[in-house]
């Protein structure tokens, strides 16, 4: 299952879908259909959440 498939299956709000797709593109430098959902979820878990990954100065990107 790709990250895009997971987002489409689990998220109903279009604005949230866009935000998650932007997160994947920014952190992984690939589109959501190019990376596995497991890889994305693993990084989110190891990074202690999306907010922490995105807010750390000098962080993921």
55 has pLDDT over 90: no
- Residues 3 and 32 sit within 8 Å (Cβ to Cβ): yes
pLDDT at 52: 86
Dihedral through CA 8, CA 18, CA 58, CA 35, nearest 10?
Answer: 30
The reported pTM is 0.82
Percent of the chain with pLDDT over 90: 74
When pLDDT is averaged across residues 40-57 and rounded to a whole number, the result is 88
- Residues 3 and 40 sit within 8 Å (Cβ to Cβ): yes
């Amino acid at each position: 299952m790709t990250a895009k498939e997971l987002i489409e299956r689990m998220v109903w709000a279009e604005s949230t879908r866009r935000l998650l797709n932007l997160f994947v593109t920014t952190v992984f430098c690939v589109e959501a259909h190019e990376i596995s959902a497991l890889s994305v979820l693993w990084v989110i878990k190891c990074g202690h959440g999306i907010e922490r990954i995105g807010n750390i100065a000098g962080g993921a990107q």
